[in-house]
Structures are given as C-alpha cells and as structure tokens.
Structure 1
Amino acid sequence: MAIDLPDGFVLRTLRDGYTYTPPRVRESEVDQGAPKQRRDTTAAPADIQARFVMSRAQYRDVFVPWFNGALAGGAHWFNWTEPFTGDAGRAQFKGGSLPPTTRSAGGRIVLGAQLRFVRTP
C-alpha cells in the first residue's frame, strides 16, 4: 500500500533537469523473423530524475517529517501523479536517504531526487 502526500502538499516539479527512463525491455532471439521484446518484469518501474521546488518552511515542516516518518526514510512507496503525462501511480525515492538540496535565487529549496515510478492501472 502506498502512502499519500501530506494534506495540501504538492511536489512541484521543475521541467528543467527532468528525465523519464521507461522500464527496461529484454530481447530474445528467434529462429526466424524479428527478435521478440518484453519487459523484464510485468510491473517494471521507470526511473525518474526530478527536481522539486518548495519553500524553506514546507521543506522543514512538511517534507522532512513526511520523508523520515511516513516514508521511513524513503523506504516506502507513495502515491504520485507523473506531472507531465498525468499518469497516476506510486513512486519511491531511490537511495534511502534525504535527497540533496540547493537554494534557488528566490530562496526556495530545490530538491534533486531519483525516483522509481510504477503506473497504476
């Protein structure tokens, strides 16, 4: 079961630096014709590199407690809508630690994150 984002909290995603790598596909040679392709697994996660922006207060008071508490330091999956396709699914932070942050010119926190993402049917 995936965990919801805190009430009223949105992971606002920057388009700059965003990459989406679809699930891996495996090829099998056949005697005749083109090779067959299939996913490695039926629910293979996509890899996403994203940058999220939030205020310092949101980072300190909402994101960090949610990440360390409800997500158990990133170990649990959470419900998330992929922002550029609108696909609903569940995501997990990769790496098992709080993602690195920088500050934007406006003093906002920019969080660089690597995610696993699986669409829900």
Structure 2
Amino acid sequence: MTYIVTENCIACKYTDCVEVCPVDCFYEGENMLVIHPDECIDCGVCEPECPADAIRPDTEPDMEKWVEFNRKYAERWPVLTQKKDPLPGAEEMDGKPGKLALFSEAPGEGS
C-alpha cells in the first residue's frame, strides 16, 4: 500500500502533510502536491494532517489513476520538505467538485 494525493488538493495545496513526512516523498506543483508512490513508506502519518482530506490510501476503489498521476508529477516536480502557506482562497476551494480542470502541470518552487 502507498498513500497518494487526489484531486481535492488542487487549488488548496495545504502542506501540513509535508511537515510530518519522515521520508520527504512530497513533490510540489504550482497548485497541488503529489506523493511519489515508490518513495512512500506507507506510514500514514500524512493522511490525518491534510485539512482537505486529499490524501488517500491506494487501496481505495479507483485509485490506480491517481497512483500514476502522482508518480508522473513526482518525477517532474521538485521535492518539498518544509511547510508553506496554503494557496490564497484554499478554504473556499476545499471540497469543490471538478477541480481537475484547474490543475496546472507547472512545477512549484520546492524546498
């Protein structure tokens, strides 16, 4: 099992999860985070830290596409090891449906 970041992170990008990760497997895009599924040690400490409930185990139904999504962008984006402020408007965007249309492939700054 591994943990992965799903659509609800888009346009929120809370980074509380990054602060607790013992292996630095989070990668930063312009408007979301991803977890490298091959680096995640399945400890699960990140999942309860996400205010947007965007981190899920890959054992849930229909997560295969998100595992590949996370892998793809983790290999392109910089690692993030320190907590940052969420995106402006994160509270308003939290839980909104259809956020995949807002996704940006651009990398973040990392840390």
TM range (shorter): under 0.3
Identify which of structures 1 and 2 has the higher relative contact order when contacts are C-alpha pairs closer than 8 Å and 6+ apart: 2
TM-score, normalization: structure 2?
Answer: 0.24
Higher share of residues assigned helix: 2
Who wins on radius of gyration, i.e. which is larger?
Answer: 1
